[in-house]
Structure 1
Amino acid sequence: MGSKPVAFKDLPSLLDGKYIYPKEDSDIGGILHALFSDQSSLTYINDDLQDDNAAMLLARHDVAYIAFHDYQKPSIDHLIRLGVLENTGARVQLANVEQFLILNALFTTQAASYYRLSLAGQAEVDAMIGKGWA
């Protein structure tokens, strides 16, 4: 006899859609790894351009697209195509603050509370659901 822990997402709720979770078979896993993992290939460019993760690197530093190494550019291009990053010409940056906050929550806690988000955040979640990410 044993007990198996119940996953948070498997607990019933009286409010449908209260929490959002990353979908396992979607682009979201790669996005979360690339942006927030300390094992991402995007955390280090040189001694002056490095940080704990790619999201912090892009948020704290002005990093031009040409500063990335050739092996990093396919990942950057993919995140730009997905609408997670944008290349302004002067720098590569996070495309949407609300999206960033939601992605960060999904990485750190594997969930985000839909009804605690701003209306813009809820709209972003709806867009993420439409993309099959959550």
Structure 2
Amino acid sequence: MKQYKLFVENGHIDFELLQMSSGPTAIKVIPSLNSNKYIYINKDDQGVNFLTYLLFSDQTLLTYVDPFKDKQYRNFVDLLVNEEEINFGNYEEHQHEHLNYLIDNNYISIDENNCVQVTNWNRILILRDVFENDVASLHHYPADIQDEVMHMSNDGIVFFGSSLFAIPEQNYFNYYLNKSEFTNGHDLRNSYLHGTQANPTEIHLHENSYLLYLKLLILVIFKIEDDLFIYKKLKAEEE
């Protein structure tokens, strides 16, 4: 991964410079060839947190409306996706405040039949993707969805990251390789580097470590391949 970091930063791999670098490279500092690669929800904004609560939380009461109460939808967006005639008049008075918040922020509207309609499906589906997966990949979206993501970024709803690994992936690697994020992690890198690995007679433990290393290596290859694929695609679109 040090080699890929040098490749991204310099356009080639300088092996002399690589040999001079003896320290480990943190997963989070390995860059991507592509800007704005990952999309994250801006959880520092309380308004955004309230919005995602109303849309995606299983604690919101917006799914509790006749005649759909018995269907027990997980969240409000699931209700919107699956039902076409959600009558605003069937909501109780205490539910109107949250509905009006979504109306005022242009996520839903009330049509001439007094039914709830989604104002911007693209924005809703982007938010659901990022909310459920903790991250989304901008360049794997079609052009119209990417345009909407840019509007959402301008509105402060989402922000971008440009590392090779998304934050959840960084956490995954750190859990297995070191203790930079998790004190209960496997710490495979340090245990084998410093000779604190399992006893040589405990073959099953070493086999398990080998399989974990192999899995992580395959994931790294996939991530680099994907990064190069996106880079080549964007370059081709510019020509």
Q: Give TM-score scaled by structure 1 length.
A: 0.83
SS of aligned partner of 1:128: helix
TM-superposed deviation, 1:97:
2.0
SS of aligned partner of 1:72: helix
Question: Is the CA contact (8 Å cut-off) linking 1:55 and 1:94 kept in structure 2?
Answer: no
d(CA) in 2 for partners of 1:74 and 1:89?
20
TM-superposed deviation, 1:58:
2.1
Q: Report the equivalent of 2:140.
A: 116
Matched, 1:104 2:124: no
Which of residues 49, 73, 85 in structure 2 aligns to 1:29? 49
d(CA) in 1 for partners of 2:97 and 2:138?
32
Amino acid at match of 1:133: I
With CA pairs under 8 Å and 6+ residues apart, which has the higher RCO, 1 or 2?
1
d(CA) in 1 for partners of 2:30 and 2:97?
38
Q: Could you list the runs of 5+ residues in structure 2 that have no partner in the other structure?
A: 1-26, 159-239
Q: Could you list the runs of 5+ residues in structure 1 that have no partner in the other structure?
A: 1-5
Give percent identity, aligned residues only.
29
d(CA) in 1 for partners of 2:155 and 2:112?
26
Matched, 1:40 2:63: no
Bigger CA radius of gyration: 2
Q: Following superposition, which runs of at least 4 residues in structure 1 exceed 6 angstroms of deviation?
A: none
Amino acid at match of 1:60: N
d(CA) in 2 for partners of 1:53 and 1:43?
6
RMSD over aligned CA atoms reads 1.9
TM-superposed deviation, 1:52:
1.8
SS of aligned partner of 1:13: coil
Which of residues 56, 76, 87 in structure 2 aligns to 1:64? 87
Which of residues 103, 111, 119 in structure 2 aligns to 1:80? 103
The change in CA–CA distance for 1:75 and 1:12 in structure 2 (over 3 A counts) is farther
d(CA) in 2 for partners of 1:77 and 1:127?
22
Q: Give TM-score scaled by structure 2 length.
A: 0.49
Give 1 or 2: higher helix fraction.
2
SS of aligned partner of 1:105: helix
TM-superposed deviation, 1:12:
3.5
- Paired residues in the alignment total 126
TM-superposed deviation, 1:32:
1.4
The change in CA–CA distance for 1:54 and 1:11 in structure 2 (over 3 A counts) is farther
d(CA) in 1 for partners of 2:155 and 2:92?
29
